[in-house]
Amino acid sequence: MPESRDPTRDGRSPTVLVPAEPPLHFPFTAIEGQDELQQALLLTAIEPRIGGVVVEGPRGTAKTTAARGLAELLAPAPFVSLPLGCTIEHLVGSLDIGQALSHQQLAFAPGLLAKAHGGVLYVDEINLLPDALVDVLLDVAASGVNRVERDGISHQHAARWVLVGTMNAQEGRLRPQLLDRLGLGVVVGNVHDAAQRQRIVRARLAFDHDPQSFVQQHAQRQQALARRLARARAALAGPVEVLDAAWADVAQRGIAAAVDGLRADIVMLRAATAQAAWEAAAVDMADAADTAAKAQALQVTPAHVAQVAELVLRHRRAAGEAPAPAAARPASPPPAAPQAPTPAPPPSDAGQPPASQPQPTTPGGGPDAGEPGAVQRDAAPPAGGESGVEPSDAGQGPSSGQADWGGLAAEPVPSATAANPLLQRWLQTLSQAVAEDPPKKA
């Protein structure tokens, strides 16, 4: 049996791994040209119950840079990036196999949701994640608690983080049901101003050349912004007063945008409250003379609502308006009826075909005969109207049963699952037999 060699016998010292210093990241305050994205990230950091931010735009527009910069402001908060190949167990946690084998004890191994607590959970290409993972992310983002019941373990832990998801519309969009559960929506685009492009490139090259010096130049602004963010988060713990005019403004905006449900109203009020806290935190009230001002209730006005309304309604408005273009496309059953009698009328009635042709298009926005099919078309993205993504979503059926545990399948009911497959198999066998040996006419 060959003898294992000791590196020290050959006169060579063993390799010593030196831990690398944590890399420096581009400062949040140095980002230029993405004011709306920065506003959305700060509002969600102030009030995590908003439900996260979905950022849509091309590559190279500072989406990841802004998310990492926000984590720096919340330091020592973690920044956790969710990989596309992530599994349910990796996300929510599972049984600690090592603990079970070595100590014969059931223990919980935390997942990425636990590691991101108090920081930023970044999901690049969130539109490419399986719906089961997105459901889990949105459930935990809304509740702030991760509940796990699997592998003989029942466990729950706090999981409050800022959810930042990015997507490129050219690669497909999220279903409207999932978009509605994301708090704020931001659309970033390319910079077309030459002077601004120069400033952005100069700043990036300066950071790449000497990161430490560049970060030091923005240190004071970073610290001031971090203190203001902390004051704004603390302001939400005090009394909050929402003016009646603000309540009415939120309701009217939701009705005008034709959004589904009331989630948009709730998120808009939370975002407006965070905006009010952010503006109130502009002045440092740490002095004793300002104790009376600190005791005043945080007041939410229609002006605060107006500043956040587009962030809340943009992606929901797109989902709410999706039925219009889908309904404008005539479904296959309605045109068949008007087109059948078209060749039948004699030439003397030539005035009727032009009158009969607009009928399939005008009722396309109103008939309810194709309701099941219309629901599937409504779920299609309004921009491309592609059907390649929709059939897979439709095949999954309702995902509410997976909302709590993601990939955990519901326990089957024997009486229901035993009947339907047999019935379907019997029908298939019968149809094949009839096709192979059709009945002969008497």
Instruction: Say what angle helices 35-46 and 63-73 make with each other, to 10 degrees.
Output: 40
- With cut-offs at 50, 70 and 90, classify the pLDDT of residue 351: very low
CA dist 311 and 54 (Å) reads: 10
Looking at the chain, the whole-number percentage of residues with pLDDT higher than 70 is 64
Asked, for residue 438, whether it belongs to a domain, the answer is no
Asked, for residue 125, whether it belongs to a domain, the answer is yes
Q: Tell me whether residue 329 is one of the annotated catalytic residues.
A: no
Q: What backbone torsions phi and psi does residue 56 show, to the nearest 5 degrees? A: -115, 130
What's the average model confidence in pLDDT over 56-62?
89
Q: Please give the tally of structural domains in the chain.
A: 1
User: Average per-residue pLDDT in the chain?
Assistant: 75
Q: Which of 238, 48, 308, 80 is nearest to 161 (CA)?
A: 48
Which pLDDT score is estimated for 179? 86
Which pairs with CB-CB distance under 8 Å and at least 24 residues apart come from 323-326?
323/374, 323/378, 324/365, 325/382, 325/385, 326/374, 326/377, 326/378, 326/380, 326/385
Residue with token string 């009230």: 285
Which pLDDT score is estimated for 430? 57
- With cut-offs at 50, 70 and 90, classify the pLDDT of residue 94: confident
Asked, for residue 364, whether it belongs to a domain, the answer is no
Residue-wise pLDDT for 10-57, tens only, equals 566 666 666 667 788 999 999 998 999 999 999 999 999 998 999 998
Take residue 186 and report the two structure tokens written for it: 């931001």
- With cut-offs at 50, 70 and 90, classify the pLDDT of residue 4: low
Asked, for residue 139, whether it belongs to a domain, the answer is yes
Asked, for residue 179, whether it belongs to a domain, the answer is yes
**Coil, helix or strand for 315?**
helix
Which pLDDT score is estimated for 290? 54
CB-based burial, 234-268: b 16+ in 10 Å, e otherwise:
ebbeeeeebeeebeebbeebbeebebeeebbbbbb
Q: CATH number, domain at 116? A: 3.40.50.300
> What is the identity of the amino acid at 98?
G
Angle at 387 between CA 385 and CA 391, to 5 degrees: 140
What's the average model confidence in pLDDT over 68-75?
90
Asked, for residue 48, whether it belongs to a domain, the answer is yes
Which pLDDT score is estimated for 172? 78
Whether residue 404 contacts residue 147, with contact meaning beta carbons closer than 8 Å, is answered with: yes
Question: What's the Cα-to-Cα distance from 176 to each of 53, 89, 125, 382, 398, rounded to whole Å?
Answer: 15, 26, 16, 10, 13
Structural domain containing residue 51: 28-284+294-320
What's the average model confidence in pLDDT over 136-154?
83
Looking at the chain, the whole-number percentage of residues with pLDDT higher than 90 is 38
- With cut-offs at 50, 70 and 90, classify the pLDDT of residue 360: very low
Residue with token string 């302001």: 235
| Dihedral of the alpha carbons of 40, 43, 47, 48, in degrees to the nearest 10 | 30
Among the listed residues 253, 263, 270, 317, the single catalytic one is: 263
pTM (2 d.p.): 0.65
Which pLDDT score is estimated for 141? 86
Q: What backbone torsions phi and psi does residue 76 show, to the nearest 5 degrees? A: -85, 40
pLDDT at 364 over 60: no
Q: What backbone torsions phi and psi does residue 18 show, to the nearest 5 degrees? A: -95, 125
Whether residue 279 contacts residue 232, with contact meaning beta carbons closer than 8 Å, is answered with: no
CA dist 328 and 314 (Å) reads: 22
Asked, for residue 140, whether it belongs to a domain, the answer is yes
What's the average model confidence in pLDDT over 251-267?
93
Which pLDDT score is estimated for 112? 93
What's the average model confidence in pLDDT over 395-401?
38
Lowest mean pLDDT among 110-124, 194-208, 306-320, 358-372: 358-372
Between 159 and 170, residue with greater pLDDT:
159
pLDDT at 200 over 80: yes
**Coil, helix or strand for 248?**
helix
- Using DSSP, how many helices (H) and how many strands (E) does the chain show? 21, 11
DSSP 332-344: SHHHHHHHTTSSS
Please give the distance of CA 58 from its chain centroid, rounded to a whole number. Answer: 17
Which pLDDT score is estimated for 391? 37
Asked, for residue 52, whether it belongs to a domain, the answer is yes
Take residue 206 and report the two structure tokens written for it: 């300066």
